[in-house]
C-alpha cells in the first residue's frame, strides 16, 4: 500500500531521506510537465524542477494543510519558479521561436498528408502564440488546457478567484483564435 503524501511529509520532516526520495519521485513528472510548458526546453525545465524541490525541501516545515493539498502547493511553488525564470529570460524567450520536439507524435494515422500538415502548422502557430501571450492569460491556459488541471486547482495555484481563471482562459483562447484566423486570411490572400 502506498503511503499518503501527508505521511511521507511527516517522515521528511523527521529527516527521513528515503521518504523525501519517494515524495520527489512521486511528483517530479508533474512538476517537470508544468515548468516545461512555461520554458519549452527540457534542460531548463529540469533545472527548474530541481530548484522547485530545493525550495520545497527548505520550506517543508512551513507547509500546512490549510495551504491546500500538497500537489497544489507544490505546483504553486513550481509556477512561481517558472514565473521568476520567465522574467529573467523574457527577452531571450521572445526571440526564441523554435518548436520543442515531438511534433511527429501529433500526427494521427487517419489523417491524410494535407490535413496532417495543416494540423501541425496550426499547432505550431498556437504554441508560438501561447508564448507571446501576456503572462496572466498564458498561465491559466498552461495549467488547464496543457496540463489538464481543473479550474479550481488553477485558481488556488494562481491565487485568483475561479471566475478570474475562467475569464482569463476565455480571453487567452480568443486571442489565439483570432491570431489563427488572421494567419489563415493572410495565407489565403497570398495564395491568390
User: Could you list the residues that contact another protein (CB under 8 A)?
Assistant: 17, 20-21, 24-25, 28-29, 32-33, 36-37, 42, 45-46, 49-50, 53-54, 56-58, 100-103, 105-106, 122-123, 125-127, 130, 141, 145-146, 148, 166, 169-170, 173-174, 176-178, 180-181
**Residue closer to another protein, measured from CB, 42 or 91:** 42
Grid cell 494535407 is found at: 114
Q: Distance between CA 160 and CA 156 in Å, rounded?
A: 7
| Long-range CB contact pairs, 4-13, < 8 A, 24+ | 5/69, 5/70, 5/71, 6/65, 6/70, 9/60, 9/63, 9/70, 12/57, 12/60, 13/60, 13/61
Task: Give me the least distance between CB of 184 and another protein, in Å please.
Answer: 8
Task: Give me the least distance between CB of 94 and another protein, in Å please.
Answer: 20
**C-alpha grid cell for residue 97?**
521561436
Task: Give me the least distance between CB of 4 and another protein, in Å please.
Answer: 18
Of the candidates 118, 110, 96, which has an alpha carbon nearest to the alpha carbon of residue 180?
118
**Residue closer to another protein, measured from CB, 18 or 66:** 18
**Residue closer to another protein, measured from CB, 91 or 98:** 98
Task: Give me the least distance between CB of 173 and another protein, in Å please.
Answer: 5
For the chain, counts of helices (H) and of strands (E): 9, 0
Task: Give me the least distance between CB of 24 and another protein, in Å please.
Answer: 4
Amino acid at each position: 500500500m502506498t503511503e499518503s503524501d501527508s505521511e511521507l511529509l511527516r517522515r521528511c520532516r523527521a529527516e527521513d531521506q528515503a521518504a523525501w526520495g519517494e515524495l520527489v519521485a512521486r511528483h517530479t513528472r508533474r512538476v517537470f510537465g508544468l515548468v516545461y510548458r512555461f520554458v519549452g526546453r527540457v534542460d531548463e525545465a529540469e533545472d527548474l524542477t530541481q530548484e522547485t524541490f530545493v525550495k520545497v525541501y527548505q520550506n517543508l516545515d512551513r507547509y500546512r494543510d490549510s495551504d491546500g493539498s500538497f500537489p497544489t502547493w507544490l505546483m504553486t511553488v513550481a509556477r512561481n519558479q517558472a514565473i521568476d525564470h520567465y522574467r529573467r529570460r523574457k527577452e531571450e524567450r521572445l526571440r526564441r521561436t523554435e518548436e520543442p520536439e515531438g511534433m511527429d507524435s501529433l500526427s494521427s494515422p487517419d489523417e491524410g498528408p494535407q490535413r496532417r500538415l495543416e494540423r501541425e502548422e496550426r499547432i505550431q502557430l498556437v504554441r508560438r502564440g501561447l508564448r507571446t501571450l501576456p503572462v496572466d492569460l498564458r498561465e491559466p491556459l498552461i495549467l488547464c488546457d496543457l496540463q489538464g488541471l481543473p479550474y479550481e486547482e488553477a485558481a488556488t495555484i494562481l491565487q485568483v478567484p475561479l471566475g478570474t481563471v475562467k475569464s482569463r482562459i476565455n480571453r487567452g483562447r480568443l486571442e489565439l483564435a483570432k491570431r489563427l484566423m488572421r494567419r489563415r486570411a493572410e495565407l489565403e490572400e497570398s495564395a491568390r
